[in-house]
Amino acid sequence: MSLHRHSPSIYLAPPPYPIAIRPERIAPRETELTVQTAPEPWHALDYTVSYEGVTVFTIRGRPWSLSQRRTFFDTTGLPLFELRGSWYDSSRLDLRLPGTRHSILHARLRVEIRAPRAEITFKNAGVERGVNGPEVKLEVKDHDLDNMVHVVVLGGQNIAIIQRVTNSRELTEGQRLPFRFRPKWKARVAAGVDLSLIAVLVVIIGQRVAPNPDEGSGVLERDV
């Protein structure tokens, strides 16, 4: 059985104004982003984020922390922000500036069957007014029954599509037992949308990925 799924044909619409958590990486045109779980270490909290073959962000996770903190770094090694879970409510996550308690993004994961996969709220840093821009609310919705494809929606318009890669030839195998394939996603992002924002959404979605049903139990590692 082929493990390859073609990218669904979903029209993306640029937002009416740029939206970002950081303005440096706003897509000038429709862009494809790749988010790959690192083959090392043993846990699945480390990622690399690239587009056009160039790594633009790296993520390092701390599996033993109560919040399972993940820190995003730019290409120079500068920490950009930290994604933290809530020890008392696994459905809530916050994105903070490094070393501070200031949250720049809030995420609530689905707790009801018909609710969106995730609801995201943040202050827009993509407009001229910077961090004091209007509050933006996004929804991440499932597009298929297998939960392999998700659509990011702003005001009823699709601004990004996130698809999990299922072709084994494109996946990297873990370097330690049980040597399972590490999860990987490709995201198509509309012009005017911050690439770092979409990278954060992919990592949030990745918390609850399940093994690929085409490959049987245990072939793709659970990222929890």
Q: Domain for residue 220, yes or no? A: no
Helix (H, G, I), strand (E, B) or coil at 64: coil
CA distance 183 to 34: 11
C-alpha triplet 115, 182, 205: angle, nearest 5°: 15
Q: What is the pTM of this model?
A: 0.82
Read off the CATH number of the domain in which 44 is found. Answer: 2.40.160.200
Q: Domain for residue 86, yes or no? A: yes
Q: Domain for residue 113, yes or no? A: yes
Q: Domain for residue 15, yes or no? A: no
Helix (H, G, I), strand (E, B) or coil at 122: strand
Domain assignment of residue 182, given as a range: 23-206
Tell me the chain's radius of gyration from C-alpha atoms.
Answer: 17
pLDDT in tens, 84-129: 987 667 789 999 998 888 899 999 987 556 557 899 999 999 876 5
C-alpha triplet 209, 213, 217: angle, nearest 5°: 85
Looking at the structure of the chain, the number of domains it has is: 1
**What is the pLDDT at residue 128?**
66
Q: Domain for residue 117, yes or no? A: yes
CA distance 181 to 165: 11
Nearest to 172 by CA among 61, 37, 66: 37
Q: Domain for residue 10, yes or no? A: no
**What is the pLDDT at residue 213?**
41
Which tokens sit at 71? 């820190």
CA distance 35 to 51: 9
Confidence of residue 174 (pLDDT cuts 50, 70, 90): low
- The region of weakest confidence among 40-44, 114-118, 135-139, 202-206 is 40-44
Q: Domain for residue 17, yes or no? A: no
pLDDT in tens, 206-223: 876 654 444 443 333 333
Higher pLDDT, residue 82 or 90: 82
Helix (H, G, I), strand (E, B) or coil at 185: strand
What mean pLDDT, rounded, does the chain reach? 80
